[in-house]
Structure 1
Amino acid sequence: MTQSPRSLFDKVWDAHLVATRPDGQALLAIDRHFLHEGSFHAFGMIDHAKRAVRRPELTFAVADHYVPSHSRATPIADPEIANMVTMLEANAGRHGLRHFGLHDPAQGIVHVLAPEQGLTLPGLTIVCGDSHTSTHGAFGALAFGIGATEVSHVLATQTLWQRRPKTMRVTVDGVLGAHVTAKDLILAVIGFIGADGAAGHIIEYAGSAIRGLSMEGRLTVCNMSIEAGARAGMIAPDDTTFSWIEGRTYAPKGDLFDRAVAHWRTLPSDPEAAFDREVSLDAAAIAPSVTWGTSPETAVPVTGVVPDPGVESDPVRAGQMRKMLDYMGLTPGTRLEEVGIDRIFIGSCTNARLEDLRAAAAVLRGRRAVVPGLVVPGSVPVRRQAEAEGLDRVFTNAGLEWGEPGCSMCVGINGDLVPAGERCASTTNRNFPGRQGPNARTHLMSPAMAAAAAVTGKLTDVRKLGAS
């Protein structure tokens, strides 16, 4: 019997389906389970139930959310944060898990480390107690965040109950303009479909502009799929993917790699595969972007102005806009390039890879920042390579701080905070109230745009600085 055309998502889901209940819930086999310091709740659950980790060789513990971005030569000063980091190490040790701890030469943000180490592969199912697990879909994996109870279920069974989501294809064709990056692309997508535009869906990104992205760019795009309400984001694997994977520590080697590639080439969506929803964007129409409000969906070209709720026909939407503008301290009609900033942050699982640091350094080279800022690489290997290329000196010569790998100022739980009332040009993925600290104001943008803001002290179109 001829099989109906299937999407990339369909192929991965079907290959991992163990059982389906009458209510539609499906039991999926899980290939990779990543843990960070917040997993102590789940370990407590399996300890209480007297259960062991079912497949310790498929479970990886990574210290990233609570680790300090400053000197690691001395113990962590905050006892609560120190305890979080210590508990992860202890839980990993008790259950025989590979632990990428504070001083591990591969340590980093889990969503940077796993692809870097070859743990993220096409066609896998990947889960982690972190919403930005969608990042790994850049390789053609089905990857999504889960809650503490689900983490405990995966620890104990290496399976997970899920309801099959709908599918959505976002096609971006054409060529991105000069200094327009993957971050601008995904901000444009979210701005177009809205913060809940993909709710209940898996997004597959397609089109010539997507295929033209590096793996780093694809990781950025899939990382922020969750900000459009999607369950996950996926990009079909291709030669760019295979070249990235080959030779990495946990990747298949020799004949196994060749056989794996042969299978991975069967994963892209069939030409006639159907999607529940289709969206298309023109790459040439995308500009360097920034957010003005407290949601990624408020992304607009930096050449624009702060919008006016008074001309919004939807009263609910108008009210939301007024609330966001009040929090952000902005006046309708103000040119975005006139908005001053107090500091910058370059880092996070969205934009802390080597390509991101190179882009920021290209803007900062030979220039001085007029506001303070923190640059945090996504992993120890990224940090080492950046230092080998002299990027760290570019940042410090510009007056910025060069940090140790971790989540840092992306989320205000590790000591790195934006002071109350200050405005931060940030390469992170979320800008809701308090994300970077109580009453902090966050503008999302690309690394190059954050660097441009550093040297001008305001939101700035990077194209005007003539960076290479």
Structure 2
Amino acid sequence: MNARTLYRKLVDAHTVAVLDEQNVLLFCDLHLMNEYTSPQAFAGLHERGRGVPVPGQNVAVVSHIIPTHPVKLRVIADAASALQASNLQRNCERHGIALFDTNDALQGIEHVVAPEHGMIRPGMVVICGDSHTTTYGALGALGFGIGTTEVEHVLATQTLVYRVAKDMCIRVDGVLPHGTTAKDLVLSIIGRIGAQGARGYVVEYCGSAIEALSIEARFTLCNMTVEAGARGALIAPDAAAIDYVIAHAPDIASHHREAALLRWQELHSDEHAAFDVEHRFDAGEVAPQVTWGTSPDQVIAVDARVPRPDELPGGVERGSAERALRYTRLQAGAPIQGTPVQHVFIGSCTNGRIEDLRAAAAVVRGRHVVAGVRAMVVPGSGAVKAAAEAEGLDRLFTAAGFEWRNPGCSMCLAMNDDVLADGVRCASTTNRNFEGRQGRGAITHLMSPAMAAAAAVTGRITDVRQLETLQ
């Protein structure tokens, strides 16, 4: 057999039928749903009189529209959003699908909830009506987002008509410098290859810097790879990934565990497997990153200056930069560091896990949010919230002037009541800085949790590496 990449092994193992040279019928091990991409899919099923034949391989989570106010009993006040949640509950009850509902103690963001409850295992194909399903590549699972029509097809058949992607390898060696994280690494990569640099590809990450990342850091890396246009992201499961899965999936025991371990050993690209495109990066060159524009690839090191459009290549890139600067109200050629912020948001499926909160807390400890800044911490799930509270992180944040919220997508996107006003500038640990993403006219600067925490206690975009010298 010819040498194969990890991606091709996963596709081959899940191909029910080859449809043509580019498309296959792909079996999906797990289908995750949320409240905003599933209603039309269920309606289509019901119109055709069809059911869900494999409900146990479908799981639903209410996450995007849910309010995160710090109350014991959450109520969705917005009528349209409440209808979405109640429709999801009714559809799940009708078809016997597990649901993490509004007031479930373990509720949270789907891409945080699924791995922490052992739903994601190496070698799986996991799909969801959300683009950041690429997160699961951190455990050697092929995850990707799908549209509403595809959601209906998966519900009805547990399969998907799938166009096979090309292979890209991104190798990162070296050591991330002090003060930098996986968020800085992935923003740096996106900045280098561009927002369309991986379009049509599934990216496999490898190299010593990737191997050194914690599993939660790998989630961040794979989560944001879609911002380079990638159709998926993968990291071959190593001992750290397998230990994570075993620890979170107690059902894998006895002979099932032995069989799983044998299977997972095969989940790597063969030695002579060919990739369509390969990139190499040095982790040692990465600095804390901050976005300056309205796309994740419009990013610079925190100690750099905002680009001048006339110094960029002509055409689309220059025009995009000019429009972005008008929107973000930044001065071309000015330092990004020192830019005042009015809001700080720490959370999301990118950076709402316990390691992220610990990193932010380490910066906040002994400091306080400055006057004029509103700062929020939103855990990624009920389990993350409970773990943080057991460590006293909630008390640390609130004592420092942060709001400690309930889990949910919150201010990652303006689909709930955590919305920024026009002109408010936010230091955010989220994954997208599009125009209006956090509210009409709101300005988003993507950065790591430590960098966001530094912005909260200084009132401006600050190089976290220098914070220890600031009093």
Q: TM tier, shorter chain?
A: over 0.9
Offset from partner CA, 1:330-367 (integer Å, 9 cap, x none): 01111111211111000000000000000000000110
Change (3 A) 1:230 1:250: farther
The worse-fitting range, judged by mean Cα deviation, of 304-313 and 276-285 is 304-313
| Counterpart position of 1:29 | 27
Give 1:6 deviation, angstroms: 1.0
Q: CA deviation at 1:174?
A: 0.6
What's the CA shift for 1:250?
Answer: 6.4
Aligned to 2:65: 66
Q: Is the 8 A contact 2:67 2:75 kept in 1?
A: no
Whether the 8 Å contact between 2:73 and 2:103 is mirrored in structure 1 is no
Shift of 1:199: 0.4
**Alignment partner, residue 94 of structure 1:** 94
Percent of aligned pairs with the same residue? 51
Match of 1:210 in 2: 210
Gaps of 5+ in 1: none
Secondary structure of the residue that 1:53 maps to in structure 2? Answer: coil
**Do the aligned residues in 2 keep the contact of 1:119 with 1:250 (CA within 8 Å)?**
no
- SS across alignment from 1:296: coil
Render the CA deviation track for 1:187-207: whole Å, top value 9, x for unaligned.
011001000000000000110
**Number of positions where the alignment pairs a residue of Structure 1 with one of Structure 2:** 465
CA 1:364–1:156 in structure 2 vs 1: closer, same or farther (change >3 Å)?
same
Match of residue 179 from structure 1: 179
Match of 1:400 in 2: 402
TM-score (norm 1): 0.98
Contact 1:113 1:379 in 2 (8 A): yes
Give the 3-state SS of the residue equivalent to 2:252 in structure 1: coil
| Other-structure match for 2:268 | 268
Flag structure 2 segments of 5+ consecutive residues without an equivalent: none
Contact (CA 8 Å) 1:7, 1:269: kept in 2 or not?
A: yes
Corresponding letter in the other structure for 1:447: P
1:119 maps to what in 2?
119
Q: Kindly state the Cα deviation for residue 394 of structure 1 after the two structures are TM-superposed.
A: 1.3
CA distance in 1 between counterparts of 2:272 and 2:178 reads 34
Contact 1:42 1:151 in 2 (8 A): yes
CA contact (8 A) 1:375 1:402 kept: yes
Shift of 1:249: 4.5
Q: State the secondary structure of the residue aligned to 1:392.
A: helix
Cα-Cα RMSD: 1.2
What amino acid is the match of 1:463? R
In structure 2, what residue type is equivalent to 1:67? I
Q: Deviations over 1:407-463 (max 9, x none)?
A: 000010111111111100000000000100101100000000000000111111101
Structure-2 separation of matches of 1:114 and 1:72 = 23
SS of residue matched to 1:349: helix
Tell me the TM-score normalized by structure 2: 0.97
Other-structure match for 2:346 = 346
SS in 1 for 2:222: helix
Deviates more, 1:187-196 or 1:17-26: 17-26
Farther off after superposition, 252-261 or 159-168: 252-261
CA distance in 1 between partners of 2:32 and 2:449 (Å): 26
Instruction: Tell me the SS of whatever aligns to 1:337.
Output: coil
- Per-residue deviation, residues 367-419 of structure 1 (Å, max 9, x unmatched): 00111111100111100010010111111111110111110000101111111
Return the letter of the residue paired with 1:10: R
Helix, strand or coil at the partner of 1:195: coil
Aligned partner of residue 252 in structure 1, secondary structure: coil
Q: Secondary structure at the match of 1:466?
A: helix
Q: Does the aligned pair in 1 maintain the 2:74–2:103 contact within 8 Å?
A: no
SS of the residue 1:295 aligns to: coil
Cα distance, 1:251 vs structure 2: 4.7
Kindly indicate whether the alpha-carbon contact (under 8 Å) linking 1:357 and 1:447 is maintained by their aligned counterparts in 2. yes
- Which residue does the alignment assign to 2:14? 16
Matched ranges for 1:147-162 at <5 A = 147-162=147-162
The 2-side partners of 1:74 and 1:143 are apart by: 30
